[in-house]
Structure 1
Amino acid sequence: MRSEKFQNEVDLKYQLYNSIFLTLPLDGIHGTGILIPILKNECSKGLKEGKSPIEILNLFFEKQTSFRTEKEQLDFMFRVIHYIERQVVLLDAVEDAEFDKLNDIDGAGSLKALKSKIKRKDKWDEVKSDLEKFAVRIVLTAHPTQFYPSTVLAIINDLIKAIQKNDLIQIKLLLTQLGKTPFFKKERPTPYDEAKSLSWYLENIFYRSASELYSELLSSKELKDTKVGPMISFGFWPGGDRDGNPFVTSETTLKVAERLRTILFTNYYKDLRLLRRRLSFKGVYELIVDLEERVLDKVNNDSEQGISIEEINDGLSKIEHILVNEHDGFFLDLLRKFQNKVKLFGSHFASIDIRQDSRIIKKAFDVLCESPVLAGKNFEKASIDDLLAVKESISSFVTTDEVSRDTIRVFSAMKEIQEQNGEPACNRFIISNCQTAVDVARVFAMSKLCAWNEDLPIDIVPLFETIEDLAKADETMKELFENEIYYGHLNKRGKKQTIMLGFSDGTKDGGYFSANWSIYKAKENITRLAREKGIVVVFFDGRGGPPARGGGNTHKFYSSLGNNIENQEIQVTIQGQTISSKFGTKASAKYYQELLITAGLGNRLFEDQSKQFNPEDKEIMELLSQYSMEEYHRFKSSDKFVPYLEKMSALKYYGKAKIGSRPSKRKASAQLNFEDLRAIPFVGAWSQMKQNVPGFFGVGTSIKRLKDEGRMEGCKKLYQNSLFFRTLVENSMQSISKSFFSLTQYMQKDEEFGDFWNWIHDEYLLSVDMLLEVSGQKELMELSLELKDSIQLREEIVLPLICIQQFALMKIREMELNGNIDQNKYIILQNLVIRSLYGNINASRNSA
């Protein structure tokens, strides 16, 4: 039963517009829509009766259709996928159109609510101080967890507007366009293609939503004349993230930086044209026209000697002065809104982060060590003192390895981007798989060797991911903080150190509870150390879309952190369905940016002792982490673990689907190796099977062990006392709600994997029971009914699609076990699996 609000605002409207979709005479899917409700019913009924997807689809074709040949049946399945993909888009558009009605825009977490609390608590002076330093940084990544091309995104945005107006004629036209627009390309996208796709959000969403939010904050009369920094900024990984992606080159990075600058100045030009229409006053009009022409020249000619951001600001300041002193401040609000955009986006729009794996960096550094400049210096066992003291400059080197060549050249590319777009355009080097202080010192040395002789205008950001690396992260940073040269570098960078923490690989390594608790403890330990050393640490969270990868109710995590964890800035990655679901429209983007800002500011302004773990709560949390990790490691160590993913899931098809430029494995080995497996296909494979293992495995066992020890009341108190733990529980419930073991219950009978499937299923059932008991809820997600309704409706829509995927996987496995492979049919079945990936993941947007 759906909640009344969701049923009225989303469900009924979706059914109405879907009925229009059913009638469209679209090539390839005409008539398919009529059969989909019948197929859905057969899937639902068949799975309840314990039938396998093969049995269900065979029965469907026999009873409900005239499709008798195998070709007719397979063609129909492709049409079903094609149709359901578009049903998911329609639901996305309906939910986005009704966003304001489904969400309490002015409620808890809004700027309005925060301002009211500030006024009640008389905290305006503290706010003024904080706003000089506090910032939220949203970093867009190119990770392929959502597959809408820019053409489809544009249709969604137009569809949202038509639905809000209830314009049935326009809706019908857009649904027809949607039916004819392809969702995927035959060629794999290049890193630059990904950058173009994601820059759409910067150009069409963030440019407006961020500046409106910033202007709204500054409009408060209590903040008049307050110095406020650029509180919202954006990072950009496409074209800069090299970790595991050999296709990203320095040429790509430079090209992406140029694109970001061009689309930004194009937006500036459009705004100046609008300003010119209003600021037609004496002494002002001429200045606006001059700015407009010079910005247009920058767009068209891309001259390095063109107008700078400083010159734009000077021109705007002159106009502001004249408006105030000679024209009664007329249209001053319009001018200041544009000034705010220039303040937020500068000349770069978003900062390109460079990221590379520490092992690749070491290999490239070894190439440099072979140059005559460093001859005789033994860096094989160099200490951080030796590396940080490097003063040489290397202009040439010899290597046939293209990845090493690029790793060396990227420093000069960073320097070139800074010269053209300003330092913020590209001033961070993130070290994936960072294990020791030497990894950081090595990048410091390479920066000196390859680009800068004097002070380094970059921040070196270690990324700690595994449970082991998180546990010793504070010791690693202590070694760096106590080094005179590195401390001097931080001193020149404002005594600020950014540290990235990876939720995705942490979960993959140690399980859900353990990863989140390990990151929490690492943050506490590093904060304590940094404060002792007089350094401000900034935590950059690498969060994915689903709860298992650090997603879910992200702002609640930040709200739950006490002052034992540094919170001067919030920095977080967003990717895939997170971008489209939370930041796909101006309204939702503004809302979710507000939530992050108020979560961070609220923590700083209102110290809440209840956010600190008392000794008993901390002990319970520690045991939950330990017990869940033990069970997860036992599970992960099974000799069935990797083969199960390889043979029974869609894992290997992530690499075959042309959905992203980055390979699905870190190494191009034929054998599947767990360590080389990326978090996205790992989590995605479980999601495709509707067995969301990374979001719950070990959770039930850990709580049950504590219950058996007589400590269930302690677990319940932890849930009541800690927003952090409640958020973990809610997000795990979300993962479980998207699990559906009836789909794969046929695996119980599999000779090789039957016991393994039962192990997963037992942990799932146990986790449901334990989470309900510890939370006191009668059913999963009863505190988030609209979200639960959305998940339920989406799972209903994709039910035929996931049955088709399992049908194809079963047929492929039959062929492989029998050793009798019909190559033509084998390829068709593989394509069926690959095509079904898209719609299934797009439907999971509410896991973001």
Structure 2
Amino acid sequence: MTQQAARPAGRRKPTASRADAPDTALASASIPATAPSAPSAKTTRSRRASAAKPEAAPAAPAATPARRASDKDVPLREDIRFLGRLLGDCVREQEGESAFELVETIRQTAVRFRRENDRAAGAELDRLLKRLSRDQTNSVVRAFSYFSHLANIAEDQHHNRRRRVHALAGSPPQPGSLAHALQAIDAAGVTGKALRKFFDEALIVPVLTAHPTEVQRKSILDAEREIARLLAERDLPMTARERDHNTALLRARVTTLWQTRMLRNTRLMVVDEIENALSYYRTCFLRGIPQLMSELEEDIAAVFPAARKSKAAPAASTQLAPFFQMGSWIGGDRDGNPNVTADTLQHAASQQSSLILEWYLDEVHALGAELSMSSLMVEASPELLALAEASPDHSEHRADEPYRRALIGIYARLAATCQAVTGQAAPRHPVADSAPYADAQSFAADVQVVIDSLRAHHGEALARTRIDALAKAIAVFGFHLASIDMRQVSDVHEAVIAELFAAAGVEANYAGLTEARKQELLLAELRQPRLLTLPWHAYSEQTRSELAILNMARELRGRYGARVARNYIISHTETLSDLVEVLLLQKETGMLHGTLGSKTNPARPELMVIPLFETIEDLRNAAGIMQSLLELPGFASVIAHHGGEQEVMLGYSDSNKDGGFLTSNWELYKAELALVQVFEARRVKLRLFHGRGGTVGRGGGPTYQAILSQPPGTVNGQIRLTEQGEIINSKFANAEIGRRNLETVIAATLEASLLPTQNAPKDLATFEAVMQQLSDRAFTSYRHLVYDTPGFKDYFFATTPITEIADLNLGSRPASRKLMDKKQRRIEDLRAIPWGFSWGQCRLLLPGWYGFGSAVKALLDEAPDERAHKAAVATLRRMVKTWPFFTTLLSNMDMVLAKTDLAVASRYAQLCEDAVLRKTVFARISAEWHLTCEMLALITGRQERLADNPLLARSIKNRFAYLDPLNHLQVELLKRYRSGKDGDDIRVRRGIHLTINGVAAGLRNSG
């Protein structure tokens, strides 16, 4: 069975689907009290008839657009109802009839309240929830939480189904697909040669990070993956017995969910985060990325036949360089996480290598069974015959099977490599010992010998199957799987350098020096051949740890290849010395070769030093700092060593927490443009690393639109971007959804790089001036609320579950860089991730919209007369229609506003015991929300949220009925827990954490 299967194409007219699964919600569903567990025989027969004779369906009356849109979602509603029935049956079976009736009563009441606007139902819902016992509360929370999980699975399957319907119907390629991007590029006159050059130079890297918003246990994720697989099977033609068997398996897996502990008893460790991340390689990346590259090669060959490398082999697709690779922060990100050490870095690299080598061994073993060609039937190349002769397999039974003998030899060498590199034996013993491969390139060369021989001897069809995917995987994953970035905050580097200088007698107070003096001292030390480090000095634990992790990186590069660790990110980069300090640390650990400024032996650092500009002030200083770095004497040789490229990372999360949604996005935009100018002047290739999160307030939103809305000249085939928290699961738990999300990143990068003129409207200068005015006003409004309102931090900590989130075992890293002492806690010390996560839980999502309404109103109020007012409105409307940056900005904000709920948020406001503070702050937030909605409607001309995406609007609205009970119960549980009366009751604490899990699942992109 395959997850890509779907119902026949002839049943429904295709519809567009969104590129990014995490940014969508669901149609309505229910958990009926009485219903069969599977579709009726009549329904089954109807489906089979449709599958057998789609053209024979009777003509139907002309449908309205709304009717047609609804028809497309019939399979989705069927799946949700079906899974809901299974969950309902499970609740009845596991908890009893009374528990089931209670859940169903709450569900029906919530639906009446939300969808029918029945106020009496709202009051009844409130009474029902307040009367629940602790055990009843947990059962209700679990039921509604798991329903959100199951509904998400159904939605993902519907995305896959709709895409297959499109393909079967021969619909035009959709935006976000590679086919659409290539057609647009071809129509714009881009040549095959230019396209070839693009892929030869491009680098696109999604980077998986571990952050404390992933609320799911791996056991839960594994069960949900199996449910998704079984649900996909139901789109295939099935006999009655097969369907009953499928239903029984699904029922079992739903029962597994119910009987599995949803929450962790202990905090997640770094090693757990490493294993969780690796599970997505098995599910999605190992096969998905090679498959995606193969499809891209086929599409290029079809649209740009001149882009083929070899005219002598017309059947062969255009072979691409490994432009698409994977990155990871897990095991190397030390910023604020004391649990990341040299040992965790070593463990991450070892586990990654073990996974990819075991996968290679399985693939080579399978190829040995598949490639059974006999030399009596077909010839082989001399190179292939030489591989066969070098093989330790001398069995007379395979004397005429050179391919098998060659692959047995490759397997033996790969098994030896696995033992040498990871210390682990191969899952299947080789026929004899052999010499390990020196590196992944040597392994790839042997595999290529097999491919070339197949193609040269009537085996093109064989060369384009498993072995082609293996060759692509080797090019992408090497022996390292993913590059592990190292990251640390600049303050730590300064402290380490200060200690090294003091111990060596160079400078007693490095931290107290001026920036100019720091630079002078650092550069002088980089020109010295000797080291600062003293072998017998007793350094602090922090200094020993920082030097140890760099020493470990050097060792890992020698063991797994240079790509295992090639980037070093400096958080909170404020000055040039912040970057130079890391160059000096590389020198101290044997990772900087040569001397900075030397013409005969120039500096060659093994790790690229990458600044991370996070706050509003940092973003404004970014271009100046990078210009100083590029102009540093001797740094040109460093750039040359890195292939003429330099990476810069931009932080979306902290800049948003610092300056608000509008200002953060605008300052990021300006910083990118300023960086482009600096790099173009120095003729250095700029690669931007976008530190995006899941929520819109942290740079989230559809990836396709996000990349296309980048300023012209800022992509150019070079992009890295983070995938964080629960977004990793939303995007990549389902193999087909994951492949689609990867395709979207490539397609958007292609279009943004090769069609940049489409992103530059004629009135750009005017638009940018208006945007600056809006940003200034939004910044003032946001800062006044968050940082200048007396007591705001107390309001935030009282009305959101931030304290309980910090207590939940979500990730290995603390929620704050400092201990959250009640008297000393500050918004500034709180990490941006739990900051945004908390606002999502209370359904305000404030980081994704606050300040926009005030900014627009202030701009319009300053118009001297009616004519000027109308002109300002007209300009804003042109901006949203013709400027991708502004269009995406407002589209993302529109989605966030649709997910907010002031009525629910007002319940959380009651948790603030200071009545005056409560009324003051909530009134301001409420007024700004209404004003933002009003100004957005004025600009777009649409009064309703998501008017241009009715499916998403309907989905979000219908999901509220299932979130309402969770939010209501969360508030009640927080009251009980914080009152101290039930503070020691583990059921209350567990109930709070379960509601956090359920709300996060319902919102999907909340972290």
With normalisation by structure 1, the TM-score equals 0.93
Pair 1:782-2:921 in alignment:
no
Q: Residue 268 of structure 1 aligns with which residue?
A: 360
What are the superposed Cα offsets for residues 335-370 of structure 1, whole Å, 9 maximum, x if unpaired?
Answer: 222111111111111110111111122112222223
Q: Residues 99 and 396 of structure 1: is their aligned pair in 2 closer, same or farther, counting only changes over 3 Å?
A: farther
Q: Do 2:444 and 2:471's aligned partners in 1 also have CA atoms closer than 8 Å?
A: yes
Pair 1:10-2:68 in alignment:
no
Aligned equivalents of 1:675 and 1:751: distance in 2? Answer: 24
Q: Residue 395 of structure 2 aligns with which residue?
A: none
Q: Residues 634 and 60 of structure 1: is their aligned pair in 2 closer, same or farther, counting only changes over 3 Å?
A: same
Q: Do 1:528 and 1:564's aligned partners in 2 also have CA atoms closer than 8 Å?
A: no
* DSSP-derived class of the 1:544 partner: coil
- Once the two structures are overlaid, the 10-residue window that deviates more, 74-83 or 158-167, is 158-167
Pair 1:383-2:506 in alignment:
no
In structure 2, what residue type is equivalent to 1:145? T
The Cα shift of 1:117 comes to: 2.7
Q: Residue 614 of structure 1 aligns with which residue?
A: 764
Q: Residue 182 of structure 2 aligns with which residue?
A: 115
Pair 1:666-2:817 in alignment:
yes
The Cα shift of 1:171 comes to: 1.7
What are the superposed Cα offsets for residues 208-261 of structure 1, whole Å, 9 maximum, x if unpaired?
Answer: 111111111123422321663212111111111111111111101101100000
Q: Do 2:818 and 2:829's aligned partners in 1 also have CA atoms closer than 8 Å?
A: yes
Q: Residue 471 of structure 2 aligns with which residue?
A: 339
Aligned equivalents of 2:536 and 2:803: distance in 1? Answer: 38
Q: Residue 481 of structure 2 aligns with which residue?
A: 349
Q: Residue 434 of structure 1 aligns with which residue?
A: 573
In structure 1, what residue type is equivalent to 2:949? S
Q: Do 1:140 and 1:574's aligned partners in 2 also have CA atoms closer than 8 Å?
A: yes
Given the alignment, which residue of 121, 134, 141 partners 1:81?
Answer: 141
Q: Residue 313 of structure 2 aligns with which residue?
A: none
In structure 1, what residue type is equivalent to 2:888? T
Q: Do 2:488 and 2:569's aligned partners in 1 also have CA atoms closer than 8 Å?
A: yes
Q: Residues 718 and 450 of structure 1: is their aligned pair in 2 closer, same or farther, counting only changes over 3 Å?
A: same
Alignment of 1:569-584 (within 5 A): 569-584=718-733
Pair 1:216-2:295 in alignment:
yes
The Cα shift of 1:142 comes to: 0.3
Aligned equivalents of 2:290 and 2:724: distance in 1? Answer: 21
Q: Do 2:676 and 2:713's aligned partners in 1 also have CA atoms closer than 8 Å?
A: yes
Q: Residue 635 of structure 1 aligns with which residue?
A: 785
Q: Do 1:50 and 1:745's aligned partners in 2 also have CA atoms closer than 8 Å?
A: no
Q: Do 2:482 and 2:564's aligned partners in 1 also have CA atoms closer than 8 Å?
A: yes
Given the alignment, which residue of 721, 725, 729 partners 2:890?
Answer: 729
Aligned equivalents of 1:651 and 1:350: distance in 2? Answer: 33
Q: Residues 372 and 92 of structure 1: is their aligned pair in 2 closer, same or farther, counting only changes over 3 Å?
A: same
Pair 1:792-2:957 in alignment:
yes
In structure 2, what residue type is equivalent to 1:154? D
Aligned equivalents of 2:966 and 2:536: distance in 1? Answer: 53
Q: Residues 377 and 642 of structure 1: is their aligned pair in 2 closer, same or farther, counting only changes over 3 Å?
A: closer
Q: Do 1:385 and 1:483's aligned partners in 2 also have CA atoms closer than 8 Å?
A: no
Pair 1:494-2:494 in alignment:
no
Q: Residue 409 of structure 1 aligns with which residue?
A: 548
Alignment of 1:18-29 (within 5 A): 18-24=84-90, 26-28=93-95
* DSSP-derived class of the 2:550 partner: helix
* DSSP-derived class of the 2:605 partner: coil
Q: What percent of counterpart residues are identical?
A: 23
In structure 2, what residue type is equivalent to 1:616? T
Q: Residue 499 of structure 2 aligns with which residue?
A: 367
Q: Residue 157 of structure 2 aligns with which residue?
A: 97
Q: Do 1:191 and 1:248's aligned partners in 2 also have CA atoms closer than 8 Å?
A: yes
Q: Residue 202 of structure 2 aligns with which residue?
A: 134
Aligned equivalents of 1:569 and 1:664: distance in 2? Answer: 32
Given the alignment, which residue of 416, 436, 442 partners 1:306?
Answer: 436
Given the alignment, which residue of 422, 425, 444 partners 2:564?
Answer: 425
Aligned equivalents of 2:952 and 2:720: distance in 1? Answer: 25
Q: Do 1:26 and 1:176's aligned partners in 2 also have CA atoms closer than 8 Å?
A: no
The Cα shift of 1:769 comes to: 1.3
Aligned equivalents of 1:739 and 1:379: distance in 2? Answer: 46
The Cα shift of 1:625 comes to: 1.1
Q: Residue 936 of structure 2 aligns with which residue?
A: 771
Q: Residue 707 of structure 1 aligns with which residue?
A: 860
CA root-mean-square deviation: 2.6
Pair 1:567-2:720 in alignment:
no
Q: Do 1:29 and 1:82's aligned partners in 2 also have CA atoms closer than 8 Å?
A: no
Q: Do 1:5 and 1:102's aligned partners in 2 also have CA atoms closer than 8 Å?
A: no
Q: Do 1:552 and 1:847's aligned partners in 2 also have CA atoms closer than 8 Å?
A: no
Aligned equivalents of 1:582 and 1:9: distance in 2? Answer: 21
* DSSP-derived class of the 1:822 partner: coil
The higher radius of gyration belongs to 2
* DSSP-derived class of the 2:906 partner: helix
Aligned equivalents of 2:731 and 2:705: distance in 1? Answer: 15
Aligned equivalents of 2:196 and 2:113: distance in 1? Answer: 62
Q: Residue 804 of structure 1 aligns with which residue?
A: 969
What are the superposed Cα offsets for residues 128-173 of structure 1, whole Å, 9 maximum, x if unpaired?
Answer: 1111112210000001222222222222222122112223222212
In structure 2, what residue type is equivalent to 1:720? K
Q: Residue 818 of structure 1 aligns with which residue?
A: none
Pair 1:194-2:240 in alignment:
no
Q: Residues 169 and 404 of structure 1: is their aligned pair in 2 closer, same or farther, counting only changes over 3 Å?
A: same
Q: Do 2:672 and 2:711's aligned partners in 1 also have CA atoms closer than 8 Å?
A: no
Aligned equivalents of 2:974 and 2:118: distance in 1? Answer: 21
Pair 1:524-2:673 in alignment:
yes
In structure 1, what residue type is equivalent to 2:918? F
Q: Do 1:388 and 1:486's aligned partners in 2 also have CA atoms closer than 8 Å?
A: no
Q: Residue 404 of structure 2 aligns with which residue?
A: 285
* DSSP-derived class of the 2:200 partner: coil
What are the superposed Cα offsets for residues 191-219 of structure 1, whole Å, 9 maximum, x if unpaired?
Answer: 11111111111222111111111111123
Q: Residues 116 and 486 of structure 1: is their aligned pair in 2 closer, same or farther, counting only changes over 3 Å?
A: same
Q: Do 2:582 and 2:609's aligned partners in 1 also have CA atoms closer than 8 Å?
A: yes
Q: Do 1:703 and 1:715's aligned partners in 2 also have CA atoms closer than 8 Å?
A: no
Q: Do 2:696 and 2:896's aligned partners in 1 also have CA atoms closer than 8 Å?
A: yes
Q: Residue 37 of structure 1 aligns with which residue?
A: 104
The Cα shift of 1:322 comes to: 2.4
Q: Residues 58 and 610 of structure 1: is their aligned pair in 2 closer, same or farther, counting only changes over 3 Å?
A: closer
Aligned equivalents of 2:549 and 2:184: distance in 1? Answer: 47
Q: Residues 378 and 552 of structure 1: is their aligned pair in 2 closer, same or farther, counting only changes over 3 Å?
A: closer
The Cα shift of 1:77 comes to: 0.7
Aligned equivalents of 2:352 and 2:834: distance in 1? Answer: 29
* DSSP-derived class of the 1:451 partner: coil
What are the superposed Cα offsets for residues 792-841 of structure 1, whole Å, 9 maximum, x if unpaired?
Answer: 3433222211110011223445x3xxxxx336557654443223111111
What are the superposed Cα offsets for residues 534-581 of structure 1, whole Å, 9 maximum, x if unpaired?
Answer: 111100000000111101112212112343424331210001222122
For these two proteins, the number of residue pairs brought into alignment is 833
Aligned equivalents of 1:688 and 1:254: distance in 2? Answer: 36
Q: Do 2:620 and 2:671's aligned partners in 1 also have CA atoms closer than 8 Å?
A: yes
Aligned equivalents of 1:156 and 1:171: distance in 2? Answer: 10
Aligned equivalents of 2:546 and 2:506: distance in 1? Answer: 18
> Where does the alignment leave 5 or more consecutive residues of structure 1 unmatched?
816-820
Q: Residues 299 and 792 of structure 1: is their aligned pair in 2 closer, same or farther, counting only changes over 3 Å?
A: farther
Pair 1:603-2:752 in alignment:
yes
Aligned equivalents of 2:794 and 2:539: distance in 1? Answer: 36
Pair 1:294-2:373 in alignment:
no
In structure 1, what residue type is equivalent to 2:86? I
Given the alignment, which residue of 482, 504, 507 partners 2:656?
Answer: 507
Aligned equivalents of 1:14 and 1:194: distance in 2? Answer: 31
Aligned equivalents of 1:506 and 1:241: distance in 2? Answer: 19
Aligned equivalents of 2:459 and 2:983: distance in 1? Answer: 76
Given the alignment, which residue of 834, 838, 843 partners 2:997?
Answer: 838
